[in-house]
Amino acid sequence: MTYGRPVTSRYTRVLATLLLCGAVAVGLPDRTSAAISEEVPASSRQDRLLWADDGTGLRNLHIRSSRADGTGMRRVYDNRRGFTMALVPSPNGRRVAFVTCCTDDIPLLVVAPTKGGRHLAPLKAHPELEAADGLAWSPDGTRLAFRAILTEGEQRVASIWTIRLDGTDLQRVLTLGAVLPDGGSEIHDTMVWTDEGILYAEAGQLRLATAGTSTVVMDRVGDVRVTPDGRWLVLRRFDGLDQQVWMARPDGTGARKVLQWDLDGSRFMYHSVVPNRDGSRLLAYRMELRSADGRDEWIAWDTAEGPRSHERLPVRNDASAITWY
């Protein structure tokens, strides 16, 4: 999601992300060198999928869930307009949160049961907040953190906020600064809420927000996600044209690289890399760089074996977001 004009095709959204991040270089801090060979545990349960099917332009946002093989499909949420860039399941997998773009006749922030049913709109009573993105669940699943813009005087200011699912107890955690005059901003799909504070990526750094302050946790980070069990971060990183995905504990230790490709030399690139509940599997949108046929698809693979062991996921290639729960 951006703070500027909406982007309406998956290819254009991916390209925009790469243009924003392509010049960032990678450097691991000393604290991440421990336990580099530690293995991610095998999955202890069957993963289910959540995905968002978009229609033409900004029409027809449909959230669906199913087993990983495509069976047992359920309707989670429907709206005739809008799209979303990220689906964020609650720690127990019973709900999914997402922000929408870009029309006033659809809730800005939605929380829906993954089995289907009545959805919540936590920001319904807060129309002063606009253009939200970057979602994170609290560890106990009772609150959400997100970025949003508030007009203060003559400036539009971006901040990190938290709120209860019923829309009460709205709190500002950290002011990030004024939004650029043209409305442009980086793409922030998700954040991570830990017991220490809220992790977010900004200007190539992984930072921790707590009590109105922000400290650097790790350099050269473009995006951060977390496994639903809270044990592992998934970090998108860059080294020139080399693109990398790392996994680390929430405190930055135990880091290891699990995926890498070169925009100038590799056959494929990977976008929207998402872990399953315990990090034993990853899914991503894979784009073929050397083909004019656009043979792009959503795939999943065992983390320890790498993407050569992948399977194609039973969803449309133009789905705007997929996750596990």
The pLDDT of residue 125 is 95
Structure-block tokens of residue 254: 């135990």
The pLDDT of residue 233 is 95
Q: List the strands of the sheet with 88-89, edge to edge.
A: 88-89, 95-99, 109-113
Segment 28-85, tens digit of pLDDT: 333 333 332 334 444 445 899 999 986 555 566 899 999 998 999 999 999 888 888 8
Segment 166-214, tens digit of pLDDT: 999 999 999 999 987 654 445 567 899 999 999 999 988 999 999 899 9
Query: Regarding beta strands 129-137 and 109-113, do their DSSP bridges make them parallel or antiparallel, or are they unpaired?
Result: unpaired
pTM value is 0.83
3-class DSSP state of 316? coil
Segment 251-292, tens digit of pLDDT: 888 999 999 988 777 889 899 999 999 999 999 999 988 766
Q: What residues are paired with 189 via a beta bridge?
A: none
Q: Which residue has the higher pLDDT, 124 or 267?
A: 124
For residue 57, give the amino acid letter.
Answer: G
Return the C-alpha torsion angle 56, 10, 110, 100, nearest 10.
Answer: -70
| Fold (CATH) for 10-324 | Neuraminidase (2.120.10)
